[in-house]
Amino acid sequence: MERVHVLALMAVVLSWAVAACSPAGKPSLKPTPGDIVPEQIGRTGWLRAAELEHFAGDSLFKYINGAAEMYHKYDFVGVTVAKYVRDDNTITADLYFFEGPDQAFGMYTTLRPDEPDTASLGVESFSFGFNLVFVKGSHLVNVYTYDDFEGAIPAVRSVATVLERWLPGTSEKPRMFGLFPERGRVAFTEKIFAEGFLGRGFLTEVHTVEYAVGDERLRLFIAPDPAGKKFGRWLDVADVKPDAMPGWKGEVFGANKSLRIVDDYHGEIVVGWRSGKLVGIVGYTPAYRGAFVNWAKSFE
């Protein structure tokens, strides 16, 4: 029978592939099957089953089937599955490893609910039902149980807390998010699109944040674009060319380095190229022009 678990069904399946221990007994960033997963969870009585499962590369399809394609878009490396048992109950930890922290956080942002029940672990975390999901460094972790026993939710949190302490890597968000203004930022809206931002396949590595302006919402975005190739491709397919924005020429983006697009679904979009970055705003109105220009000018 094909194996299916709750996160695959909800597009919230995650975890970490294991790292080797250093001579000092601390985990390193190198993913290897096995030994780093702690054998017990403090003095809680939860003990790790002897057998661990490992899935690397394309074999991820054997574990989560249809959801695997999205993980690969974010440079998935491998996953280790550890089970902790006590009495007749089991808590499972899926531990996924990615090429880097940006990819792990990016995958996490595709899974995070719009209004997450936060859990204060790692870079970010959320819980739902008998599941707790967090991201730290290059690892994305889901801890969950199918057994409805007394104290199940605290037990899942205990396992997740121990794993978070064992894992190496940063608990800070990717540096690109530090380039966004703080004022008006809506919490838990940072996202990374591996590809296909706004439905355009060539828009890769796009970092976005949402902002609240009164009752309205807008989105700012940045993507690395050292040679301006992404901007050039967008310019080629845009319905509205730079000469539709004569007042912007030379102001911040320079001649022919900005364009305005009216999208049936996303509304008005202004995008420009500056200092090796593609920068833009979704939901643009003239009232936002000054703030957007000042933000773009900060990229020297």
The CA distance from 103 to 208, in Å, is 14
Whole-prediction pTM value?
0.85
Contact residues for 62 (Cβ-Cβ < 8 A; gap 6+): 55
Contact residues for 239 (Cβ-Cβ < 8 A; gap 6+): 261, 262
Identify the helix (H) or strand (E) that includes residue 186.
none
Q: Where in the chain do CATH 3.40.1000.20 domains reside?
A: 175-297
The CA distance from 288 to 300, in Å, is 21
- pLDDT level of residue 149 (50, 70, 90 thresholds): very high
CB-neighbour burial class of residue 165 (10 A; exposed 0-12, middle 13-18, buried 19+): exposed
CB-neighbour burial class of residue 202 (10 A; exposed 0-12, middle 13-18, buried 19+): middle
pLDDT digits (tens, 9 = 90+) for 38-63: 888 988 999 999 889 999 999 999 99
The CA distance from 285 to 86, in Å, is 58
Q: Which two tokens stand for residue 69?
A: 């394609």
CATH architecture of 6-166: 3-Layer(aba) Sandwich (3.40)
Q: Which two tokens stand for residue 271?
A: 């995008």
Q: Is the pLDDT of residue 21 over 80?
A: no
Q: Which of 116-130, 173-187, 215-229, 240-254 has the lowest mean pLDDT?
A: 240-254
User: Strands, DSSP E only, in the chain?
Assistant: 19-21, 27-31, 47-48, 53-56, 76-86, 89-98, 117-118, 124-128, 131-136, 139-144, 191-193, 206-213, 216-224, 258-263, 267-274, 277-282
CATH superfamily, domain 175-297, is TM1622-like (3.40.1000.20)
Q: Which two tokens stand for residue 26?
A: 């601390």
Q: Which two tokens stand for residue 296?
A: 């773009």
At residue 78, the 3 state secondary structure works out as strand
The CA distance from 264 to 39, in Å, is 54
Query: In this structure, is the dihedral angle defined by the CA atoms of residues 15, 21, 25 and 138, taken in order, positive or negative?
Result: negative
pLDDT digits (tens, 9 = 90+) for 105-133: 999 999 999 999 999 999 999 999 999 99
